[in-house]
Structure 1
């Protein structure tokens, strides 16, 4: 018979309820990044950019699924603006910029 703690661990692993702290932090950051991308940033990134994972079809900015920018490129664009895109450095915190950057890089399939 398995000890109780092994049964509990198996149950948690089977339901996906348990994950290492770093993975939980990454998941939370990606969820925040998606919410900022789709709703909370002003103006919302989703208004201009197409990103399949976010369910957006913007027509002004580049299609991020095709561009596949890495997190550094996204963060630079958010801080400085680029083309018609405004700078977000006064309206988003550095943590929010990092969350959006990580989300866009992961969701678009960036290789870096």
Structure 2
């Protein structure tokens, strides 16, 4: 997968997945997009885990842009894959500056953009 196509979510999922997990991947609200199928296949092959398309059967759910269609139950873990983790990066490209702005709770740039 190219950078920006779920690689951050894959890294988080890889760090928490265990041999007894059952993995579900949701991409744009679907289980059968090319991205969802490839991520699911990747973890089947590399981690040897079972996968599912049924939320209630999953112990670990990675999702992009959507929440699962049913409420989660105790013991389920969800990994949110977000397209732009730093909302200010298009307004202030320097990470040192965005960290300072967050530290000061200075969100004037975002208010102007909105």
Same fold at TM > 0.5: no
| Higher strand content, 1 or 2 | 2
| Higher helix content, 1 or 2 | 1
TM-score interval, smaller chain: under 0.3
Q: Which structure has the bigger radius of gyration?
A: 1
